[in-house]
Structure 1
Amino acid sequence: MIESWVINDDSPVSVSFEVVLEVLPSRIDSGQFETWLTSSSGRSLAFVTNTQRAMVMLLEEEGDPGEHAVDPGAEGSSCGFVLSNGQHDEYPDQDTVPLGEAFRLVEHIVGTGSWPADARWVVDR
């Protein structure tokens, strides 16, 4: 069975891989830089952006440290990651990916339930 996904703070309508790339930019345009999706199997997918780069995390269950996308060749860090509680975070660029890549990763995970074969990610468990 393919998982269905919903955005935690929206209506309980499923978000498919066909529309997730419309939903995320719309949320960013409205000032929502943090999005959490929950799957029908209980997994969570986090997307936090500063509009240039994004942190993408996949967690198996509540409390799981999960796994996140990485950009191993990136240097430096980026700020401006605004969480829904108002907290402003800064992350090393190697722990985030360019926004276009983040969109691709989220679309693939929502569509298939797993990272793309060519994705770079690390397990934080």
Structure 2
Amino acid sequence: MESWTLTDGAAPMSADTVTEALRGRIAAGRLDTWLESTSGRSLAVVSNTERAMVMLLEHPGDPGEHATDPGADADGWSDGFELSNGQSDEYPDTDTVPLDEAFRIVRHILATGRPPADAAWVVDR
């Protein structure tokens, strides 16, 4: 069974506890969160407090895969995705999801090891 921990040394995360942890980090201004699994995978959630980029990487250097929002305005962009190193990113809205959808996707990945079947997802490999 794969288990996940926050890369900053915090306690192991479960599907039941991850949403509360993410909400707390975002409320504290920590808009990027990385989790590592016991199988070597990484899961990133980078937020601007309204939307989030959710990325799943199989190993270091993997281009990965990410959640998408096919219902978003194809010309829309959002900024304010602040990384802990001070970098500020912007992404097309189609490459991010509303925050509640991000939480749902992350919970499902922690519970099952994969994104929900009904979540829009793009493989970047």
TM-score of the pair, normalised by structure 1 = 0.96
* Structure 1 counterpart of 2:116: 116
Distance 1:68 1:21 in 2: 18
RMSD: 0.7
C-alpha distance after superposition, 1:36-74 (max 9, x if no partner):
000000000000000100000000000000000000121
Structure 2 residue aligned with 1:63: 61
Structure 1 residue 115 displacement after superposition: 0.7
The one of 36, 39, 44 equivalent to 2:37 is 39
More displaced 10-residue stretch of structure 1: 72-81 or 39-48: 72-81
Write the distance in 2 (CA, Å) between the matches of 1:42 and 1:18. Answer: 21
Alignment pair present for 1:48 and 2:49: no
Partner of 1:89: 89
Q: Distance in 1 between matches of 2:84 and 2:113?
A: 25
Q: For residues 55 and 7 of structure 2, what CA distance do their matches in structure 1 show?
A: 15
Where structure 2 has 5 or more consecutive residues not aligned to the other structure, the ranges are none
One-letter code of the match for 1:116? P
- Which residue identity does 2:65 align to in structure 1? E
Write the distance in 1 (CA, Å) between the matches of 2:41 and 2:57: 6
Q: Percent identity?
A: 65
Q: CA deviation at 1:14?
A: 1.2
Residue 80 of structure 2 corresponds to which residue in structure 1? 80
Find runs of 4+ consecutive structure 1 residues off by over 4 angstroms. none
Q: Which residue identity lines up with residue 115 of structure 1 in the other structure?
A: P
Q: Letter of the aligned partner of 1:54 in structure 2? A: A
Q: d(CA) in 2 for partners of 1:72 and 1:29? A: 27
Gaps of 5+ in 1: none
What is the CA–CA distance in structure 1 between the aligned matches of 2:9 and 2:29, rounded to whole Å?
Answer: 15
Output the CA distance in 2 between the equivalents of 1:94 and 1:16: 28
Matched, 1:17 2:31: no
* Partner Cα distance (1:96, 1:59) in 2: 16
The alignment's TM-score, normalised by the length of structure 2, stands at: 0.96
Question: Aligned AA for 2:49?
Answer: T
